[in-house]
Amino acid sequence: MAEKVFRAALDEAGLADAVTVTSAGTGGWHAGEPMDPRAADELAAQGYDTAHTARQVDSHVLSADVLVALDAGHRRTLRDSVPEPGRVVLLRSFDPAASDDAEVPDPYYGGPDGFGEVLRMIEAATPGLLERVRKEL
């Protein structure tokens, strides 16, 4: 979901051609599968693209300038995988209303409103992440 929201923000800002965005899981549980239908429904309802095939983090992903983790476990896994752990940040650290260590919870096993709540968290952090990317271009 975060990839789709951030891609849309980059497109709106006229930066889509200047930034490469990808999404990957720290484990291979869902590699090759489409997006969770509940995530796709929530994204589609808000006008976001839903085309997606899950993949696992690989050397290409780990070479990114910024690695954005959604929770502390993912952040720890990514930091352990790169020589410059400072490149790994939590997405919600870009939301001025959230604490620097706030996480985006995994809605997979949660209730029916979980994906909407997650989308709102992602959207709240996106302007701050976009600003960071603008500064680095």
Domain range for 64 is 2-136
User: Residue 48 carries which DSSP code?
Assistant: -
**pTM for the model:** 0.95
Query: Mean per-residue pLDDT for 75-80?
Result: 97
Mean pLDDT, residues 100-127 taken together: 95
Separation CA 104–CA 93 (nearest Å): 10
For the chain, report the end-to-end CA distance as a whole number of angstroms: 24
pLDDT tens digits, residue range 124-136?
Answer: 999 999 999 999 9
Kindly name the residue from 58, 100, 101, 106 that is annotated as catalytic. Answer: 106
Work out how many domains the chain is built from and give that number.
Answer: 1
Is 17 assigned a catalytic role? no
Residue 56 carries which DSSP code? Answer: B
pLDDT in the model for residue 100: 87
pLDDT value for 26: 94
* Whether 78 contacts 58, CB under 8 Å: no
Pairing verdict, β 67-69 and 88-90:
parallel
Q: Report the CATH number at residue 88.
A: 3.40.50.2300
